[in-house]
Amino acid sequence: MRSKRTIFHLLFFLLASTLLLAQEEQDEIPADLPEGMVFNDSLEVVEDSTQLQVGIVDTKIHLLSRTYGDSIVLRWAPEDYATWRYVNRVGMDVLRYSEEHPFEADTLASRLRPLTLEQFRQRYPTTDTLAMMAAGLLYDENRTRPTATKNPPGTLGSLHEIYQEQQMRFGLALMTTEWRRDLAEALAMRLVDRTAKRGKTYEYIVRPSEIDTSGQIIVRTGHIPEVKNERYKPEPFVTTLTDTTIAENTVQLTWNRGKYSTFEIERRPALDHSRQRREASGAWERVNDKPYIDMSPNELGEADSLYTMTDQVPQLGRYEYRLQAHDVFGDLTEPTKPFRVWVRDITPPSAPTITLITIDRRDSTDLSKGVFATFHLRKDTIEADYLGWHLVYYHERETSRQWRRLSQQMAAADSLLTLDVTGFSTGMVAVAATDTAGNVGYSIPQLLRIEDLKAPGVPTNLRAEGNAEEGTITLTWDAPEEADIDYYEVAYANDTTHRWVLATEAKLQDTRFVDSVDVTVNQKYIYYKVRAIDYSTNQGEYSQVLPVIRPSLMPPAVAHIDSTWTADDGLHMRWIVSAEHFAARHLVWRRLPKDKAWTLLAVCDADSLAAYDYTLDITDRPEYNREQRYQYAIESLNYSGISSGMSLAVSLRWEGEAVFSHPLKLFGEYLPEKQETHLAWEMDGEPPYPGKWYFCIFRQGPGDDTPRFLLSAAKEDRSFTDHLLREGESAQYYIRIKYADGRQSEDSNMVRVSSE
């Protein structure tokens, strides 16, 4: 079986060829047969994964024509493998109608079939591989038999393999008809009408010689009206060519293939002069032996996909290329405009090797001034086109992370160079060798160490991340600006007053360090700092000390209840929580006894409880229900998120406030004409608790030391009339809300009423 890549290529060409026929078809083309239908050698449907009626293939013959003046060429092709096998068996009829006899058809061919296998062998030698392939596509049926599949016969995988093989065979057959006119005729897909007269108009029909009586295949006739026999003018091939020199004397051309799939590529040497009009010398030479088709993956896709071709020229220089494309009639298009290519030398010379770098300080009073570096070079192989060399220098900050030219161009014979490097920082240096074609080869970079007395800067942005499961702390920091840093040192201490210890044993040349710590220690912090050391062993200052919370696998101690009490403002609890240093926070949970899930009420920071002797006071004011009990528990977590587990739950009930606040507004006035006191009041909303309640009216009249209960009013009432006040007397009134269980509201405002 062919590889998946080969099958994919061939299926693409099947689709491309069918689309090409459809583009040039004059009549409307029906939709292609959906993929998924498989036929056996008798053209019976053995598998159909489409939604069409099983066993029915509705297809047509695609017919094209081209006039040459002295003849007319007809090209046709069916839409699918099943139709192709059917018309090959029953043959094709080719009919022509002329202007003189519009209702009488001339039969140009009857029962036109492909050559038999014996006829192929007689006409073509075995060395004609394309012809042998065409014969094999027609008569080698072994690959489309169920026994030839990888999957067991009769399975869905086996049927899919057969379908792919059939489509591939059909696609290859279409390809051969495009490449060779004689093979198009041998496969019964081409006919030349040599009796057509110049300037006359004809109508052509191509149809199967027999109609399928089984009802499985419906083949619609190929038809082209009004074909005027005129001289053919090759169509232009317009495309965009680009080139790349990919190896010595080797150029790669790339172009848009358009609607074509096979090409002819020609090349000729071009004159190299500076005149504006460039003339080419020499004759065009064909580069490809056979029609060129690109089978690389980048060719697959839409009609505007790219083709590539690699050509090896006899020598370096300037060349011109042009392309011609094969169309479906086997004719060549007009060639493209010549495309000029310059095939240059792309092999750089080998660079000299730096064998020694010496530093000379010529100012004894200030060693940072008058600094010179001498470079000793060696080159064992001298290429013929070797031109010379120069030095390049790299420093992350001073050259903005790019290589910068350090010296002028030196002659090929030079092997010694002294440069003033005063003010330079320790960096990298390399040799760049050039040739006459402008190619540049580089040596292996080496370190240019310029001794200095300046210590590196302080590392900044020191940060840490702990991992309790691995028992590690990962430190990272930002490097100082200096580029001559050799390594870093990381120091740690369990307390800022303790002796600092180096955590790094070897030279740490990264800005990241992973420290392993004990995760069972009852200690909250571990402290770190870092400094840089340069190549001259100058030690920089330590960074700021970073306190890091030590990762821990130790769970905090479980909290326990100390005391509980209830009050008007809610339920009160006092818990004793963990005093370990690694305890981070305490979670307060509540639930109803019937519920399984807990509700988080509050999160308390563990450190804030140290001043209260690690006691946690909680006040909760749940929804009022005299019969409802609530359960409370505490969960403690360390800084690594490890839990102590839920504490024992405490169950409490809140009976609500004995005296609650609720807005009440009392109004009062004396009506002299009626000799009575009229009271009225208003209230915002309902009282906060469920249950039976009513209003209580209090009065402090003449001779009363304190207000006394006068009477009660229903909750629907909002007014009261008092007849006790006499002329010349005064009284004070207020009201309150009272529940049947004894709870009552705060007093309303006091109203004074006088009968004077």
Domain identity same for 50 and 187 = yes
- How does residue 148 score in pLDDT terms, banded at 50, 70 and 90? low
Name the range with the highest mean pLDDT among 98-107, 186-195, 273-282.
186-195
| Residue 631 covered by a domain | yes
Residue 485 confidence (pLDDT) above 70: yes
Domain identity same for 91 and 211 = yes
Residue 711 confidence (pLDDT) above 50: yes
From 493, 514, 549, the end of a domain falls on 549
Number of structural domains in the chain: 6
| Residue 455 covered by a domain | no
| Residue 156 covered by a domain | yes
Residue 532 confidence (pLDDT) above 90: yes
If you average pLDDT over every residue of the chain, what do you get?
A: 84
Q: Is the dihedral of CA 617, 623, 629, 632 positive or negative?
A: negative
- How does residue 142 score in pLDDT terms, banded at 50, 70 and 90? low
Buried b (16+ CB within 10 A) or exposed e, 54-78: eeebebbbbbbbbbbeeebbbbbbb
Q: What is the pLDDT of residue 50?
A: 37
The predicted model gives 108-127 an average pLDDT of: 93
| Residue 453 covered by a domain | no
Q: What is the pLDDT of residue 145?
A: 58
Residue 581 confidence (pLDDT) above 70: yes
Q: What is the pLDDT of residue 29?
A: 30
What the block records as the tokens of 198 is 């110049």
The predicted model gives 230-259 an average pLDDT of: 89
The predicted model gives 268-289 an average pLDDT of: 72
Q: What is the pLDDT of residue 273?
A: 54
Domain identity same for 663 and 646 = no
C-alpha separations of 601 from 313, 591, 621, 635, 648 in Å: 83, 10, 11, 12, 16
Residue 631 confidence (pLDDT) above 50: yes
Q: What is the pLDDT of residue 742?
A: 82
Residue 37 confidence (pLDDT) above 70: no
Q: What is the pLDDT of residue 176?
A: 85
- How does residue 7 score in pLDDT terms, banded at 50, 70 and 90? very low
The predicted model gives 105-132 an average pLDDT of: 92
- How does residue 49 score in pLDDT terms, banded at 50, 70 and 90? very low
Name the range with the highest mean pLDDT among 304-313, 442-451, 583-592.
583-592
Percent of the chain with pLDDT over 70: 88
The predicted model gives 398-420 an average pLDDT of: 92
Q: What is the pLDDT of residue 400?
A: 84
Helix orientation angle between 81-90 and 156-179, rounded to the nearest 10 degrees:
60
Residue 519 confidence (pLDDT) above 70: yes
Residue 257: left if φ>0, alpha if ψ -120 to 50, beta else—which one?
alpha
| Residue 554 covered by a domain | no
Domain identity same for 108 and 219 = yes
Domain identity same for 437 and 392 = yes
| Residue 302 covered by a domain | yes
The predicted model gives 186-205 an average pLDDT of: 93
From 604, 625, 653, the end of a domain falls on 653
- How does residue 279 score in pLDDT terms, banded at 50, 70 and 90? low
d(CA 169, CA 175): 10
Q: Which amino acid is at 646?
A: M
Of 13-22, 560-569, 742-751, which gets the smallest average pLDDT? 13-22
Q: Is the dihedral of CA 164, 165, 170, 175 positive or negative?
A: positive
- How does residue 297 score in pLDDT terms, banded at 50, 70 and 90? low
- How does residue 552 score in pLDDT terms, banded at 50, 70 and 90? confident
d(CA 67, CA 51): 41
Nearest to 169 by CA among 287, 11, 38, 36: 11
The predicted model gives 628-636 an average pLDDT of: 93
Domain hosting residue 676, numbered range: 659-754
pTM for this model (two decimals): 0.47
Domain identity same for 580 and 465 = no
| Residue 235 covered by a domain | no
Domain identity same for 618 and 570 = yes
| Residue 595 covered by a domain | yes
Residue 111 confidence (pLDDT) above 70: yes
Domain identity same for 476 and 619 = no
Which CATH number does the domain housing residue 261 bear? 2.60.40.10
d(CA 449, CA 357): 9
The predicted model gives 488-499 an average pLDDT of: 92
d(CA 135, CA 129): 10
Q: Is the dihedral of CA 740, 741, 747, 750 positive or negative?
A: positive
Domain identity same for 39 and 140 = yes
Residue 36 confidence (pLDDT) above 80: no
Residue 143 confidence (pLDDT) above 70: no
Domain identity same for 122 and 140 = yes
Domain identity same for 620 and 514 = no
Residue-wise pLDDT for 325-381, tens only, equals 988 888 899 999 999 998 988 889 999 999 999 988 888 887 778 889 999 999 999
Domain identity same for 313 and 357 = no
Residue 639 confidence (pLDDT) above 50: yes
For the chain, the first-to-last Cα distance in angstroms comes to 122
Q: What is the pLDDT of residue 646?
A: 93
Q: What is the pLDDT of residue 16?
A: 40
Residue-wise pLDDT for 421-465, tens only, equals 988 888 899 999 999 988 999 999 999 887 666 788 999 999 999
From 653, 676, 707, the end of a domain falls on 653
CB 586 within 8 A of CB 608: no
